[in-house]
Amino acid sequence: MLHELKVQLEGTDPPVWRTVQVPHRATLHRLHKVLQVAVGWTNSHLYLFHVGGKVYGEPSPEWESEVYDSTSTTLEEIVSEGSPSLLYEYDLGDSWMHEITLQRTLEAEGKERPRCTGGARACPPEDCGGPPGYAYFLEAISDPNHEEHNAMLEWVGGDFDPEDFDAGLVDSALSRR
């Protein structure tokens, strides 16, 4: 069985989103790894899942409040059709929030593996400052007269197309994991 999930990055306009299929027995930690590939993050920061008033993450004595174990909690334990969405928070400093909604549950055709079946727009660059920083970044790179145009392009490696996304490439990357 696979859960087909729509993942939408909050605070981006137009929205950055992905549709992924994940085995229903996958742990939240495994979902985190799938999301890192599907959305395009670099797995450089901590993450949390917010589900029905509970918070899930990797076990650590450093958490100041109760955080349930994402490495042993499965999707089938917390996600069901008709249930409310869950939130995935990545990079607790920039606080990128992703709304995850179960679209449907389906039978796997062959081996159960994560897949990316759709999406739109490029992932914001790591450490750009969350949604407000990303908006500023896009403003700067789109205006050659902006005082930080060249610096932002250099910082991001010379080029950034906010519309660039290829579900086939993402699915291929997920198949190698």
Q: What is the C-alpha to C-alpha distance for residues 36 and 21, in angstroms, rounded to an integer?
A: 14
- Residue-wise pLDDT for 31-66, tens only, equals 999 999 999 999 999 999 999 889 999 988 888 889
36: domain CATH number is 3.10.290.30
- Residue-wise pLDDT for 146-155, tens only, equals 999 999 999 9
Q: What is the dihedral of CA 101, 33, 137, 129, to 10 degrees?
A: 90
The answer to whether 58 touches 70, Cβ cutoff 8 Å, is: yes
Range of the domain at 75: 2-175
Specify the 3-state DSSP secondary structure of 120: strand
Number of structural domains in the chain: 1
- Give the global pTM: 0.93
- Residue-wise pLDDT for 90-109, tens only, equals 999 999 999 999 999 998 88
pLDDT, residue 81, reads 65
The answer to whether 39 touches 81, Cβ cutoff 8 Å, is: no
DSSP letter assigned to residue 36: I
Provide the 10 A C-beta neighbour count for residue 65.
5
The answer to whether 44 touches 32, Cβ cutoff 8 Å, is: no
